[in-house]
Homo-oligomer: A and B are copies of this chain.
């Protein structure tokens, strides 16, 4: 027993350093994969971004595929989160608004993760198919039933809940995935607080009014004027 203390997550100084290196590589890989896609990212480029020799990446992750898969895996949790507030007893307007805001914040803070995800789905989502058909579908089903409950109780306008989710995902993630297009149209060098505030306000308006809802006080865009002035 005394000699075999190598429990997988024993936080010895060894395991800690190993985890740090893994994070270092993954962080760099997220940047490179998000900017160039899977095929566009060469092991040489990934190694350069991480500041390590190529062989070192292979030591930690084996293959490029495995590194990519490890990266995607880390994102899945992010995707499923932020639906907490959607519960039967919640106020529909508040719950949906919180979800939209969380998604927008995610687009702002983790745009590379969003792009990585988009890249993978565009490629046919080979690595995500199990997750889509499993946990994601289950979550959407569960939350859709909550929304259908709200509708049945007359608390919001009849709406296809699954397609409502697709719409929210699309509108919020576009601020990460299609940032170059938005920047060009708005004629700004990059998306800042102003653009995200306007975007959030617009998405909130479409979702809430679209579902026949309004936030407490009847203000659909509570933070907007405050930010603008």
Chain A interface (Cβ within 8 Å of chain B)? Answer: 35-40, 115, 118-119, 121-125, 128-129, 132-133, 136-137, 140, 157, 159-160, 162-167, 169-171, 173-175, 177-178, 180-182, 184-187, 198-199, 201-203, 205-212
Q: Shortest Cβ distance from A205 into chain B, in angstroms? A: 6
Asked whether A174 lies within 8 Å of B166 as measured between CB atoms, the reply is yes
Distance between Cα atoms of A132 and B177 in the complex (Å): 15
Report 6 cross-chain contacts, Cβ distance below 8 Å, ordered by A residue. Answer: A37-B123, A128-B180, A160-B201, A163-B202, A163-B203, A166-B174
Asked whether A122 lies within 8 Å of B132 as measured between CB atoms, the reply is no
Q: Report B-chain residues with C-beta under 8 Å of the C-beta of A175.
A: 166
Distance between Cα atoms of A39 and B45 in the complex (Å): 14
Asked whether B137 lies within 8 Å of A166 as measured between CB atoms, the reply is no
Asked whether A132 lies within 8 Å of B185 as measured between CB atoms, the reply is yes
Asked whether B205 lies within 8 Å of A210 as measured between CB atoms, the reply is yes
Asked whether B180 lies within 8 Å of A132 as measured between CB atoms, the reply is yes
Distance between Cα atoms of A180 and B130 in the complex (Å): 11
Asked whether B119 lies within 8 Å of A122 as measured between CB atoms, the reply is yes
Question: What is the chain B residue whose CB lies nearest that of A116?
Answer: B122
Q: Report B-chain residues with C-beta under 8 Å of the C-beta of A164.
A: 202, 206
Question: What is the chain B residue whose CB lies nearest that of A201?
Answer: B160
Distance between Cα atoms of A133 and B211 in the complex (Å): 34
Distance between Cα atoms of A181 and B119 in the complex (Å): 12
Q: Shortest Cβ distance from A128 into chain B, in angstroms? A: 8
Asked whether A167 lies within 8 Å of B203 as measured between CB atoms, the reply is yes
The 5 A-B residue pairs whose C-beta atoms are closest, nearest first, are A132-B184, A206-B210, A170-B174, A39-B40, A163-B202
